[in-house]
Structure 1
């Protein structure tokens, strides 16, 4: 079904391009069509099942579906990391209906990328890696997803800026596109030459950025973040940047205040007694007024496993909470034998 849907959409797009007027040269049309066909063929579905009692199942579910894109001739597939976090079983779903067993190669906390490798040949083309910095706001881009509900649609980048996630995550620059795609998990963002620009992570309500009108869109992790760490991911399963402190807390930023939204089960924050609704005012004596500030000061304050001090406001009362951080990787459950 995925191949049929995506093929119909691809040729509908190609017809629209061909009818776009004399300013589009025939050679450019042919090159774009070939590039997009190659890109579409490189995108596969991803089905992952988490290990028993995985901590991540509470928020992500035990069974997860999304997309990935082939980036290596040896069956190496790039996806968004939360799809394969604590995964026990992974299947790749090419358009030809196969269910190809795969193994997790790496999960990078710092970027959010996940790497999978097929256990039998995929025989699919690898997508070339593009340069997100060369994309302009008026350039036509394509979002391609794989699996049973595979689809392809046009998109436009509307901003490229920092992004801070509530789950102890920050990117110095991320790509934001419109219109939004609900099948964003691991979906691939391409230019019209078929070059991979990013991997889909979220639906957001502020695609245009802060202090701008509220417009729904998607956030993509840009592919240029993968290039310098790919060898590390293949060799170690994560980048050096991912060896950093973790509290096990979800936070939200509202009007210059950072408040606890959720405390992870059996994490350092739970052990320290943090509660939803607590406002984090300072960390190690340094003021906190944004998620970006909190995460940067957490990661830049020393070793991954160390004691930190949080000054909080709870029900109008000031409190100091000692907390012992851990390396996030040590909390991730692995399949037996891994």
Structure 2
């Protein structure tokens, strides 16, 4: 049974919709899903309201009973399809240093054949993968795909799953006033409403760049691989990160969708990888284990961008950057003679030409001294450890 997570104002408003005689004879999870569906017919709280005692305002366009029933069924199906993912990685894996040797997250059943979509870093260098159903049953699975370019991961259940797959929605069609449903899986899984704050470009410090990323609130810690659903129970995003401040992470301020998104205090939230990045490559991932776009150059650098400067935060073990002598604290000035002042521009230069292996020259400022370093890039996927027999 999944728990329900919500802010105090919203929780009080939800409970006010149900009298004790209605709650008593009904299984709690079904009640909460019905209330989530009911809340889709009302305006949800804004982050500003969530910090006060104000309840959500009533919608001017009420939802019919038939629409509520249909939405409730769709959301129940979506909730059921969100399951837990437990991973143990291969001994000696480099990713264990940053992501841990034992990982826990969620995934969403998207295929009748037991294929589960999750976030890729959960299954990176996996030795053993188990899927955890809501009733506690544990089902073995194997890695099917890991896509560097988008961040998605696919796993294949090794036994039939007693769950229906969910349909894929349109992540570009979500409106600012649409209430979404955030669902994590497994026995500790939970359901909560969410609101889209912004949709735009996101650049991660680990050589990662996507378009159309979904920024949501309120923040949930159980984000890894969690499903984000629209009011029709369609999957629109897969959870990737929790953000201390969604405004600082959004690269295009003009992409902010909420009127309460004006400059102000810090606003925590979550980042979801949009499902529209998955739909064009689903067949490729199933057949090849990754997309063509993932066959690209990798340096092994984690960089921070601040005030037009790129600073090296970390150098991956046994990476091209480490072999070339790049150090933590180096400030990147140029790549192949071209000046760089932001992560997207830096990444695009590295990936240009579509070659995984090539030579690049990086110029850095190291304690006031300009140092030029030659790196030979590699295919990231070729550096990853794999389970025996895979």
Specify the TM-score bucket, using the shorter chain as the normaliser.
over 0.9
Please tell me whether the aligned partners of residues 5 and 150 of structure 1 are also in contact (alpha carbons under 8 angstroms): no
Deviation of 1:138 (Å):
1.3
Note if contact 2:213-2:274 (Cα within 8 Å) is conserved in structure 1: yes
- Alignment partner of 2:165: what SS? coil
Which residue of the partner structure matches residue 222 of structure 2?
Answer: 183
Within 1, Cα distance between the matches of 2:2 and 2:193? Answer: 17
What corresponds to 2:200 in structure 1?
A: 161
What does residue range 212-227 of structure 1 map to in structure 2 within 5 Å? Answer: 212-213=263-264, 214-227=266-279
Q: What does residue 107 of structure 1 align with?
A: 146
Measure the CA separation in 2 of the matches of 1:193 and 1:83.
Answer: 27
Q: Return the offset for 1:303.
A: 1.7
Unmatched 5+ residue regions in structure 1? none
2:95 corresponds to which of 56, 59, 70: 56
Counterpart of 2:382?
A: 330
Residue 143 of structure 1, CA deviation = 0.3
**SS of equivalent residue, structure 1 residue 29:** helix
- 1:292 and 2:344 correspond: yes
Q: 1:55 to 1:66 in 2, by over 3 A?
A: same
Q: Are the counterparts in 2 of residues 311 and 319 from structure 1 also a CA contact under 8 Å?
A: yes
Aligned residue for 1:32? 71
Q: CA RMSD in A?
A: 1.8
Question: Alignment partner of 2:329: what SS?
Answer: coil
| Alpha-carbon separation, structure 1, partners of 2:91 and 2:40 | 48
Matched, 1:278 2:317: no
- Do residues 259 (structure 1) and 298 (structure 2) align? no
Shift of residue 11, structure 1, vs aligned partner: 4.2
TM-score (norm 1): 0.96
Q: For structure 1, which segment, 167-176 or 4-13, has the greater mean C-alpha deviation from structure 2 after superposition?
A: 4-13
Counterpart of 2:83 in structure 1 is 44
**Equivalent in 123, 131, 144 of residue 170 of structure 2:** 131
Q: How many residues align?
A: 338
**Partner in structure 1 of residue 286 of structure 2:** 234
Whole-Å separation in 1 of the counterparts to 2:222 and 2:177: 23
Match in the other structure for 1:65: 104
**Is 2:40–2:179's contact at 8 Å kept on the other side of the alignment?**
no
- Distance in 2, matches of 1:87 and 1:289, equals 35
Contact 1:46 1:92 in 2 (8 A): yes
Question: What displacement does 1:5 show?
Answer: 7.3
Are the equivalent residues in 2 in contact too, given 1:76–1:118 (CA < 8 A)? yes
The DSSP-based 3-state class of the residue aligned with 2:124 is: coil
Rounded to whole Å, the distance in 2 between the matches of 1:284 and 1:231 is 36
1:242-284 deviations in whole A, cap 9, x for unaligned? 0000001111101110010000011111111111110111111
Q: 1:156-189, CA deviations, whole angstroms, 9 ceiling, x for partnerless residues?
A: 1010010000000000220100111110000000
The match for 2:127 among 67, 71, 88 is 88
* TM-score for the superposition, normalised by structure 2: 0.83
- Unpaired segments ≥5 residues, structure 2: 4-26, 43-57, 254-262
Q: In structure 1, the residue corresponding to 2:140 is in which secondary structure?
A: strand
59-68 or 199-208, larger mean C-alpha shift: 199-208
Residue 10 of structure 1 deviates from its aligned partner by 2.2
1:9 positional shift:
3.5
Spell out, residue by residue over 1:300-336, the C-alpha distance to the aligned partner (whole angstroms, 9 max, x if none). 1552111100011010111111111100011010011
Aligned equivalent of 2:367, options 300, 312, 315 = 315
Change (3 A) 1:83 1:228: same
Per the alignment, do residues 78 and 302 of structure 1 end up closer, same or farther by CA in structure 2, a change over 3 Å counting? closer
* 2:221 and 2:242 in contact (8 A); partners too: yes
